[in-house]
Amino acid sequence: MRILVLHAHPVAESYNGHMHRLIVDRLETAGHEVDDCDLYAEGFDPRLSRDERLNYHEIGLNIEPVKEYVERLRAAEALVMSYPVWNFGYPAMLKGFFDRVFLPGVSFDIVDGKVRPCLHNIRKVGVVTTYGGSRLRAFLVGDPPRKAVNRVLRVIVKPGAPVGYHAHYDMNRSTDETRKRFIARVEKAMDAF
């Protein structure tokens, strides 16, 4: 399976950086073709420009500034995202990727004023993420990152595509043992992906 791995963390030596390398290694070992897209390492610009916004609905023209990323997304059969949750949301880098790449004509079409999802080449989604706060704290604020994946991303990919959400909560108080358990969980998930 061709898998696009989207990684968004500025520190390669971090726990998230370690998880990113683990994801890529396990998927490749399992025989998948991996397109490793480390947004920070690639220097992706998350800022939507004035021209991009003005041309947002012009199919074809809207894709030009991010054509390489659109082509990589369209070539993928699966998507695995690796990122930290900051302030109960995506890092700005990843949010900017969605704003600039998940465009009309790419992840959805607008027909008679209605949005129709069209990223149906993505047949499977996986998320590996970390939260500074506890699961309870995330629950109390509605866990927006989990909902964004399960309620928004799930809708634009192939209908019925499985979505795996793997989160290590409470990183601020994590221990070697909790981190090792999470690594084992992610290894198992990527081996079975």
Domains and CATH numbers, the chain: 2-192 (3.40.50.360)
pLDDT for 113 equals 87
Burial class (CB in 10 A: 0-12, 13-18, 19+), 67: exposed
Mean pLDDT over 18-47 rounds to 98
Looking only at Cα atoms, what is the longest distance across the chain?
54
Percent of the chain scored above 90 by pLDDT?
A: 97
CA 148, CA 70: separation in Å to the nearest integer?
Answer: 20
Mean pLDDT over 78-94 rounds to 96
Asked whether the whole model's pTM tops 0.75, one would answer: yes
